[in-house]
Structure 1
Amino acid sequence: MDRFLSKLSFWYFSIPFRRKTVCFFLLLVTIVTLIAEGFGYVFYRDILTKEISQQLYGTLSKIDDNISQSMNAVEQTSEALYENTVINSYLNADFSDVEQSKAASSVPNELLNVLMDSNGDLSSIYISRAQAVSLHQGKLFDYAWDSIRLSSIFQLAEAQKGDPVWIYDYYTTSHLLTENNRILCNARISYHENGEPKALMLVNLKESALTDALTVESNESGSSYLIMDNEGTAIAHSQNSFLDIYTAHLPFVDHILAQQNSFSFTINGVDYLVNWSPSQNYDWYLVSFTPFDYIDNNLANLFYIILMTFLLSMVIGTFLSFFFSRGLTSTITRLSAMLPRVEKGDFSVRAPVRGTDEINQLSLQFNNTLKKLQDTIDELSAEQVAKQMIEINALQEQINPHFLYNTLESINSLAILRGYKDISQLVLALSHMLRLSVNKGNAFLTLEQEIDRVQNYLYIQNIRHDGKFRLICRIASGTEKQPVIKLLLQPLVENSIIHGFEYKEADCVIAIRSFHRGNTLVIEVIDNGCGISEETLQKIEATLLPETKPGNDIYGIYNIHQRIRLHYGAQYGISFTSFAGHYTKVTIILPYDNHKDGGPNV
């Protein structure tokens, strides 16, 4: 078995990628066809079920509108009774006996009769009050006021405090008013000024009004419809309903109360699709029942449709597999052809990019990788050339100054012989500066040596400017032996003298401060000169950006910044802070060498 699997694996990986792609697509289409034949029936049946459900939801919405029209007419009648002056005069009148109230009830009863005739959906109107006969029209029973107040209808209406309420009264403890003890009425209580109930008004809707609203003219699906309340009690049903209207708790109500949009349910051995929708105006549910036999009859030709569709899909899939595999493998083939050139060091090759899909993204990444490799090689070459030039310059610096040393030594000896001590000190300071500049060819000095060089430079400048400048050094312990590049501070001090103190005659102070923050050495050069204008400061900051050519007036600053970046990296350099008319501060950021071994921490 293992040998067979090994040979099969070898054979598979030996097939060209394009053939693998074609075989994969054909296999995929075949599998999809077999799965579609198995699940197509269920899938299409589900689609058809959803379409029928959508149609039924529309039907339920129309039914809801029909019910609302009938019930709105009842509500308008109830409102008219509540506001009618004749009815209210009868309810507010004090009668000495029953006979007097009977005589007074004739006119209000005639009004009720007119209202009944104007709305054919009304089954009865009933108005009951204390110490008087009731006003009523329609087929109903009359009860005493005390019995009325004990009924469930009165209690439900009283909870509304004068507002109307719809009541479906069935299976209650106190049945009133109708022969079959089942009533759908709009109830409302009128009150005296002292808050005591004055009368109960009931406007009853015919059951046939709801039955007619549930009857749909076009009903090809054979659906039946039902109205039920939020407790699962049937209120009305369509004429073709198979349900017992007197069922108190319908068997499928738990599914509706659980908010299942549509579901299947078996009733009397028949499977139904049940859809429901809450009424927009009343606290009821509208429910439809559609037999699944209607749905299955629409699926008779499904098998033939699926078979023909997927046979066509296999033909189209075969064609597309050849087309797609060609587009897929052509890019990979081009990349493979370019790799030998890359192996030989030719990083200028580029793959064509004709889109944004994964294959073209691979070509784009291939091109970006080659470009980054070429840029890295160029950068390393430039750095290597720069380092070689530094070494060459260092060797030249070891040779060139010997003549100057000898000349300065001769001048110093001559000055001592003739008693010119100031000239001797000046020569010694200049000689010391030159020796530190050369430093035996080394590109680095300690911070202490660099400050010593600045002190010699200021000594020379003070002789020239009659002691105008003063130097203050605050060097943190541990930083004085830190290695720094040569000519780091002296050009900055010279810049302060030339530009900062040009118009200042006295009290010219230059301060140098150093400290370290973690692995960073911070050196600050501060002068109390004239400062730098905002425009000039922006120009300096722009010059310090990469690939920027400086002007001659700030070339020294650019030189220091670039030498720092070259030796230590792009994260190091100098920055300026200035307040025009008060001060200028140059901050130098270098790496801090914890070992202080005298070399650069690159």
Structure 2
Amino acid sequence: MRRLKELLLNLKISKKLMGGYLIATAFPLILVGLYLNISVRDVVVNNAIFEAEANLEKVELQLENAINRVTQASDLVYLDKGIESLLTETYDSNFEVYQAYANYPVFDNFLEFYEEIENIQFFMERSMISNSYFISVDEAIEQTDWYQEAKEKQGRISWLIKEEHWTKERYLTLTRAVYGTENQYLGVVNIYVSMDKLRRMINSEIHDTYIILDNDTIVYASDSEKQFMKPTFLSGFTDEELDQTLLFDDMYEGEDVKINVRRLKPEKSLQNDLQLASIIPLEMLMAQPNQIFLQGYLIIIGVLIVSLIGFRVFIRTFNTRINTLKSAMGRVARGQFNIEPKMVGTDEIGEAYDELYETSQSLQKLIDEVYIHKIKEERWYRQQKESEFKMLSSQINPHFLYNTLEMIRMKALVNKDPDVATLIKKLSKMMRQALERTDRPVALKDELNLIENYLEIQAMRFGDHFSYTIAVDPGLDDYKVFPLLIQPIVENAIVHGLEPKEQRGHLTLTVREQEDDIIIAVTDNGVGMTTKRLLEVRQGLTVTDHLNGRRIGIRNVHQRMMLYYGQDYGLTIESTKNVGTTMTLRLPKRD
């Protein structure tokens, strides 16, 4: 540690300044910039994730609404007695069958008013005639898994990926067996969800978004090439985990991504689930934060370069001026007093150079006028004066005053005058406390001790004409206050309030706690002040000069408090003529 201190002291000023610049400016700027950049980047990333989650939630609500409307349409078909009549009616000819199919309006109404529905097809076993809506079940259809499953579920809803019967295009399809009023089997209704509707939902997303059926098949994807494929990014999760909303990091197609998965349970479907997944490439997610990060550091580097160049110019100028001053001092030290009369600049270095020049001229003049022995005589004379000054200082040493007062007190005791001895003792205590005070805050109990000594002296002075009371809330003794903060207030109350009073005077000093403040109140029952005089005194607290220089003590107290504690603290005065005066100090509690 000592070697380090010596090394620092022996460094050139330019190196010290550069080190100070790095420690006080460059390093903090880099650290603060790093912290701010990371914080801003985190905020941007979190906002982007939040926005992506909010958008996905919006798509989820749209998808849920679409699924529910398709389910509602299947309920209407299931409960429609018209379709039962249509399918159980006996027709005389195929033409009557075609005409009955054509006159059934329900499916056309669904396609007109339900934008979520691409098509509806009803598969029936009782007819050999088919059209776009009603399809006769042949042996091939009857053997399909979806048809067998629909019949086995007996009216419960199933969701699957299925080809439309005529176009062979694949759709997310609601499949449901329909029964009549007497529980007779009528057929199976297939409602195909509109891919255009799904496309409008998904394409509003800026990230790859997928609708997945039963964790197994992608129903719709932003990238059409991935449609009807298996979602490999869900392969590592259990059904219990997929029942919850997921947000996780993964590697997908060779890049780091953040995947958000939300589960949707269609109404009245006991076995099927839909998942809505959004895949956000971290590179895309971090593009804006990284750009902000880069811009931030470019700004920091630019500021550092500009400040470093400016600081180097300053150091070079500073070194030049210091070296000029050092060279001139060296010449003066060697007795060469003919230095340049001026240095460029009027700062502290320039002022030091001017003083050096004046000193050199004075020395030159002194050497020219006085002999060497005269200089020696003057040196001896100065030493003698310094000794005399030290002797004079010792004569007024405070300890000398304390000892003198103690000697007087002992004389009073010998002369059997205890009142005088007590008075001198309290005065000695008060002088010691006052003289030993510094500008640093002191404990409240020490300040109150000084006040009590002062009041006891005043009580002895006035006798029965004066009394006092001190009341302090418990727990306030160790709080810090300014030294000599209360004494000028107490003295002012006695001098201006109680001394002019002919009757017995009483002074009350209270110290109490009020929330986070300490309230010190000095109240006297003295002569008080008129309203006009009270206004003058209050105004005098805030000015630097006052009428006849009176009440300087309380003005100093008020202004010291405002400077140290702030504008909310200080001295307030209330007074009534021939009733008394209360001066209140408000200061914050400080340990």
Q: Smaller-chain TM-score range? A: 0.3 to 0.5
Could you say which structure has the larger radius of gyration?
1
* TM-score where L is the length of structure 1: 0.40
* TM-score where L is the length of structure 2: 0.40
